[in-house]
Structure 1
Amino acid sequence: MESVIAQRVGELDADSSEVAEDAQHALTAMGPQVLDQLIAAAPGLGSFGQLCAIEVFSALGDPRPGDALIGMLSSDNTVVRQWAAESLGELGIQHAVPDLRQAYESFRQRGESPDHSEGVALRWALTELGERTLVLPLRASALRCHVDQLDPAWPTAHLAEVIEDLAAHDQAVLYFQVWRIKDGKGAFGGQGPGIDWDVDRQKSWPQIVSECRDWALLAADATDKALHLVATICWIDAADL
């Protein structure tokens, strides 16, 4: 079995993404026995191989890859950094908090847009690990619906009210995504509203909150309010910027 695991781990770096993904699925199916070899090999894998390894780590739900994932936070590849952060949050790797904070500080110092996927992932991981407080006002909380893997989410009919409530509590709405709910089949879609807006970090925080609110309300007004549609919202506090 050790040789089979070694072969599959090596295939994560195959030139063919199909071969690499087949190896990923095979390693996941083998279970936790693959972890020792995969953890040892992960730092030397290419970017795609590391992404496959992260998928295996997350799927197995074992905390042992924590240090390997922490090492990936300093990868040259932004997607690797993003997925590593998400996996650290999913696996509850508490000792990763200082490294996640450092990674987020580096993200901010690079001047990246706060709605960039890497920043969203880092904030989410810090929130999951109890090191960042998500400001969720009472009214917005009361309006939310509960959908598997989309918590918090809101019926699109309440989008404008939620956006107004977040802004009233000094939160800047970066974007929202709309999902179609099918009975017994979960959520599908994840489409944006068709209107994008940017954060001008040269402006004061109250100006940022106000402008994000206005753009988000404009987008919400153009969004379908059907009963089977819900929205997830991404917002930040002044401390995040």
Structure 2
Amino acid sequence: MTTRLKRLVQQLDDSSGPSYDARAELIGIGSEAVPALVDGLPSLGGFGQLTAIEVFEEVGDPRCGPALICLLGSDHPTVREWAAMALASLETDGATEPLRRAHRACLERATPYGVSGPGLDWEPDWTAPSEHLVEESRAWSLLEASEAPVGDDVFVAPTWIDRTDLHPER
């Protein structure tokens, strides 16, 4: 792992701001960053792992599949949830059985996927870059949807700005 990539991966854990720049840079590097990201993943805390999952999803490289499967066993419920969603969105080969096991383990712990997010009065940080606002709003809506009561006659269908809105030039 090059020193530059290692530094960027470690910055993913810094929730005070550098993680956003590191995330954008790793996404820009693309598939070349995946091995360094996979290698550095165990040293990251929950915030860094969530940010790494975002990078994995944006890059879309199938080599991140095994790392995402490992994150299904995380102690952090949000990391488990995001890893499961990333595996589904990336259509990772061989993920079906690990996802079933992770879901059963969550049910046995009585901690299903989903954690309490901010209340309905949540207000985004309007001074943040637009890419950050979109990601935070997307994450918040998923957290809220995961807490919604459901039944045979009730369902939740969250909608949000599409990822292509982050980069209109593409």
Q: Which residue of 2 aligns with 1:61?
A: 60
Separation in 2, partners of 1:4, 1:32: 15
Separation in 1, partners of 2:32, 2:25: 12
Percentage of identical aligned residues: 35
Q: Which residue of 2 aligns with 1:232?
A: 157
Q: Which residue of 2 aligns with 1:30?
A: 29
Higher strand share: 1
Structure possessing the higher radius of gyration over alpha carbons: 1
TM-score normalized by the length of structure 1: 0.48
Q: Deviations over 1:13-53 (max 9, x none)?
A: 23x43111211111111111111111111122110010111
Q: Deviations over 1:191-231 (max 9, x none)?
A: 98xxx647xxxxxxxxx64xxx3xx4xxx9xxxxxxxxxx8
Q: 1:6 to 1:197 in 2, by over 3 A?
A: closer
- Letter paired with 1:117: G
Q: Which residue of 1 aligns with 2:114?
A: 117
Q: CA RMSD in A?
A: 3.0
SS at match of 1:54: helix
> 1:97 Cα shift?
1.4
TM-score normalized by the length of structure 2: 0.66
Q: Which residue of 1 aligns with 2:77?
A: 78
Q: Which residue of 2 aligns with 1:107?
A: 106
Aligned residues: 131
SS at match of 2:110: coil
- Letter paired with 2:157: T
Structure 1 unaligned segments of length 5 or more: list them: 119-187, 199-207, 221-230, 234-241
Separation in 2, partners of 1:80, 1:56: 14
Runs of 4+ in 1 over 3 A off after TM superposition: none
SS at match of 1:52: helix
Does residue 4 of structure 1 match 2:4? yes
Asked if the contact 1:12/1:20 (under 8 Å) is kept, the reply is yes
> 1:6 Cα shift?
1.7
SS at match of 1:117: coil
Asked if the contact 2:6/2:40 (under 8 Å) is kept, the reply is no
Asked if the contact 1:43/1:68 (under 8 Å) is kept, the reply is no
Separation in 2, partners of 1:32, 1:197: 39
Separation in 1, partners of 2:149, 2:48: 34
Asked if the contact 1:43/1:72 (under 8 Å) is kept, the reply is no
Asked if the contact 1:73/1:103 (under 8 Å) is kept, the reply is yes
SS at match of 1:94: coil
Q: Deviations over 1:89-137 (max 9, x none)?
A: 1111121211100011112223346xx537xxxxxxxxxxxxxxxxxxx
Higher helix share: 2
Q: Which residue of 1 aligns with 2:134?
A: none
Q: Which residue of 1 aligns with 2:13?
A: 13
Q: 1:8 to 1:112 in 2, by over 3 A?
A: closer
Asked if the contact 2:26/2:33 (under 8 Å) is kept, the reply is yes
